[in-house]
Protein backbone atom coordinates (compact mmCIF):
# COMPACT_ATOMS: atom_id res chain seq x y z
CA UNK A 1 0.00 0.00 0.00
CA UNK A 2 1.82 3.04 -1.19
CA UNK A 3 -0.83 5.38 0.20
CA UNK A 4 -0.10 4.30 3.77
CA UNK A 5 3.37 5.83 3.58
CA UNK A 6 2.39 8.76 1.37
CA UNK A 7 2.81 12.24 2.78
CA UNK A 8 -0.15 14.31 3.95
CA UNK A 9 0.21 16.53 0.88
CA UNK A 10 0.00 13.50 -1.44
CA UNK A 11 -2.98 12.26 0.51
CA UNK A 12 -4.78 15.59 0.08
CA UNK A 13 -3.96 15.64 -3.64
CA UNK A 14 -5.28 12.11 -4.05
CA UNK A 15 -8.51 13.02 -2.24
CA UNK A 16 -9.05 16.07 -4.43
CA UNK A 17 -8.60 13.95 -7.56
CA UNK A 18 -11.04 11.32 -6.23
CA UNK A 19 -13.59 14.03 -5.43
CA UNK A 20 -13.21 15.61 -8.87
CA UNK A 21 -13.71 12.25 -10.59
CA UNK A 22 -16.79 11.61 -8.42
CA UNK A 23 -18.16 15.00 -9.46
CA UNK A 24 -17.64 13.98 -13.08
CA UNK A 25 -19.87 10.98 -12.35
CA UNK A 26 -17.35 8.12 -12.24
CA UNK A 27 -17.98 5.14 -9.98
CA UNK A 28 -15.56 3.69 -7.44
CA UNK A 29 -14.10 1.07 -9.80
CA UNK A 30 -13.65 3.57 -12.63
CA UNK A 31 -11.91 6.05 -10.33
CA UNK A 32 -9.56 3.32 -9.07
CA UNK A 33 -8.62 2.49 -12.66
CA UNK A 34 -8.23 6.19 -13.53
CA UNK A 35 -5.89 6.85 -10.59
CA UNK A 36 -4.20 3.47 -10.60
CA UNK A 37 -5.01 2.83 -6.94
CA UNK A 38 -6.85 -0.02 -5.17
CA UNK A 39 -10.65 0.20 -5.41
CA UNK A 40 -10.89 -0.39 -1.65
CA UNK A 41 -9.07 2.93 -1.05
CA UNK A 42 -11.62 4.77 -3.21
CA UNK A 43 -14.49 2.89 -1.56
CA UNK A 44 -13.15 3.88 1.87
CA UNK A 45 -13.16 7.51 0.78
CA UNK A 46 -16.70 7.15 -0.58
CA UNK A 47 -17.85 5.60 2.71
CA UNK A 48 -16.25 8.48 4.60
CA UNK A 49 -18.08 11.00 2.41
CA UNK A 50 -21.31 9.07 2.84
CA UNK A 51 -20.84 9.13 6.63
CA UNK A 52 -20.30 12.89 6.41
CA UNK A 53 -23.40 13.22 4.22
CA UNK A 54 -21.31 14.62 1.36
CA UNK A 55 -21.44 11.72 -1.09
CA UNK A 56 -24.71 12.69 -2.80
CA UNK A 57 -23.39 16.22 -3.32
CA UNK A 58 -20.34 14.71 -5.06
CA UNK A 59 -22.62 12.99 -7.49
CA UNK A 60 -24.56 16.20 -8.14
CA UNK A 61 -28.31 16.76 -8.29
CA UNK A 62 -29.01 13.75 -10.52
CA UNK A 63 -27.68 10.74 -8.61
CA UNK A 64 -29.84 8.46 -10.75
CA UNK A 65 -27.52 9.13 -13.70
CA UNK A 66 -24.59 7.37 -12.01
CA UNK A 67 -25.84 5.55 -8.94
CA UNK A 68 -23.17 4.42 -6.50
CA UNK A 69 -23.47 0.94 -4.99
CA UNK A 70 -26.97 0.31 -3.68
CA UNK A 71 -27.52 1.16 -0.02
CA UNK A 72 -27.87 -2.43 1.17
CA UNK A 73 -27.78 -1.38 4.80
CA UNK A 74 -30.77 0.97 4.42
CA UNK A 75 -32.58 -1.69 2.42
CA UNK A 76 -31.93 -4.25 5.16
CA UNK A 77 -33.33 -1.92 7.83
CA UNK A 78 -36.37 -1.05 5.70
CA UNK A 79 -37.07 -4.75 5.09
CA UNK A 80 -36.78 -5.54 8.78
CA UNK A 81 -39.06 -2.68 9.78
CA UNK A 82 -41.62 -3.76 7.19
CA UNK A 83 -41.39 -7.33 8.49
CA UNK A 84 -40.31 -8.69 5.13
CA UNK A 85 -38.46 -11.71 6.53
CA UNK A 86 -39.39 -13.79 3.51
CA UNK A 87 -37.33 -11.58 1.20
CA UNK A 88 -34.26 -12.53 3.16
CA UNK A 89 -34.71 -16.20 2.26
CA UNK A 90 -35.27 -15.39 -1.40
CA UNK A 91 -32.11 -13.32 -1.43
CA UNK A 92 -30.15 -16.12 0.26
CA UNK A 93 -31.29 -18.61 -2.38
CA UNK A 94 -30.26 -16.18 -5.13
CA UNK A 95 -26.86 -15.75 -3.49
CA UNK A 96 -26.34 -19.52 -3.44
CA UNK A 97 -27.17 -19.74 -7.12
CA UNK A 98 -24.70 -16.96 -7.86
CA UNK A 99 -22.06 -18.67 -5.71
CA UNK A 100 -22.59 -22.00 -7.48
CA UNK A 101 -21.91 -20.36 -10.84
CA UNK A 102 -18.85 -18.53 -9.47
CA UNK A 103 -17.45 -21.76 -8.01
CA UNK A 104 -17.88 -23.61 -11.30
CA UNK A 105 -16.11 -20.76 -13.13
CA UNK A 106 -13.22 -20.83 -10.64
CA UNK A 107 -12.86 -24.61 -10.89
CA UNK A 108 -12.89 -24.41 -14.69
CA UNK A 109 -10.03 -21.89 -14.56
CA UNK A 110 -8.19 -23.76 -11.78
CA UNK A 111 -8.42 -20.77 -9.41
CA UNK A 112 -8.69 -20.86 -5.62
CA UNK A 113 -9.07 -17.08 -5.34
CA UNK A 114 -11.08 -14.75 -7.55
CA UNK A 115 -13.24 -11.64 -7.52
CA UNK A 116 -16.69 -11.22 -9.04
CA UNK A 117 -19.17 -8.35 -9.14
CA UNK A 118 -21.73 -8.67 -6.35
CA UNK A 119 -25.14 -9.88 -7.47
CA UNK A 120 -26.89 -7.43 -5.16
CA UNK A 121 -24.80 -4.25 -5.05
CA UNK A 122 -22.16 -4.56 -7.78
CA UNK A 123 -19.17 -4.20 -5.43
CA UNK A 124 -16.21 -6.51 -5.91
CA UNK A 125 -16.72 -9.73 -3.93
CA UNK A 126 -13.66 -11.77 -2.95
CA UNK A 127 -14.13 -15.51 -3.38
CA UNK A 128 -11.97 -18.30 -2.01
CA UNK A 129 -12.08 -22.05 -2.36
CA UNK A 130 -10.83 -23.54 0.89
CA UNK A 131 -9.50 -26.93 1.89
CA UNK A 132 -9.34 -30.22 0.07
CA UNK A 133 -13.09 -30.17 -0.48
CA UNK A 134 -12.96 -26.69 -2.01
CA UNK A 135 -15.60 -25.09 0.17
CA UNK A 136 -16.52 -21.67 -1.11
CA UNK A 137 -16.18 -18.59 1.02
CA UNK A 138 -17.32 -15.24 -0.36
CA UNK A 139 -17.77 -11.86 1.28
CA UNK A 140 -19.05 -8.64 -0.24
CA UNK A 141 -17.30 -5.50 1.14
CA UNK A 142 -20.68 -3.75 1.47
CA UNK A 143 -22.00 -3.88 5.06
CA UNK A 144 -24.75 -6.53 5.55
CA UNK A 145 -24.51 -7.58 1.92
CA UNK A 146 -23.59 -11.05 0.70
CA UNK A 147 -21.73 -13.47 3.02
CA UNK A 148 -21.39 -17.07 1.95
CA UNK A 149 -19.72 -19.96 3.79
CA UNK A 150 -20.30 -23.25 2.11
ZN1 LIG B 1 -22.82 -6.65 -2.32
CA of 22 relative to ligand 1 center, distance in Å? 20
Q: How far is the CA of 56 from the centre of ligand 1 (A)?
A: 19
pLDDT at 102: 93
CA of 133 to the centre of ligand 1 (A): 26
* Distance set, CA 7 to CA 3, 4, 11, 32 (Å): 8, 9, 6, 19
Q: What is the pLDDT of residue 9?
A: 67
What pLDDT is recorded for position 93?
82
Q: Is the pLDDT of residue 63 over 50?
A: no
Give the C-alpha separation, 115 to 52, whole Å.
29
Question: Separation of 125 CA from ligand 1 center, angstroms?
Answer: 7
**What confidence tier does 66 reach under pLDDT thresholds 50, 70, 90?**
low
Please state, as a whole number, how many other Cβ atoms lie within 10 Å of the Cβ of residue 110: 6
Per-residue pLDDT tens digits for 9-62:
677 888 888 888 888 888 888 889 999 999 999 999 888 888 888 888 777 654
Query: Which phi-psi region, left, alpha or beta, contains residue 118 (left: φ > 0; alpha: ψ -120 to 50)?
Result: beta
Q: How far is the CA of 27 from the centre of ligand 1 (A)?
A: 15
CA of 7 to the centre of ligand 1 (A): 32
Domain extent listing, the chain: 2-65, 72-149
Q: Distance, CA 123 to ligand 1 centroid (Å)?
A: 5
Q: What is the mean pLDDT of residues 119-125?
A: 92
Mean local confidence (pLDDT), 72-84? 77
Amino acid sequence: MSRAIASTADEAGWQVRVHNLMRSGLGVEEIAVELGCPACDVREEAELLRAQGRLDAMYGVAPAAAPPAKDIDAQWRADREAGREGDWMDAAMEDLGWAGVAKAQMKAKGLTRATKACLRCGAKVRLELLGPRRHLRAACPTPRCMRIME
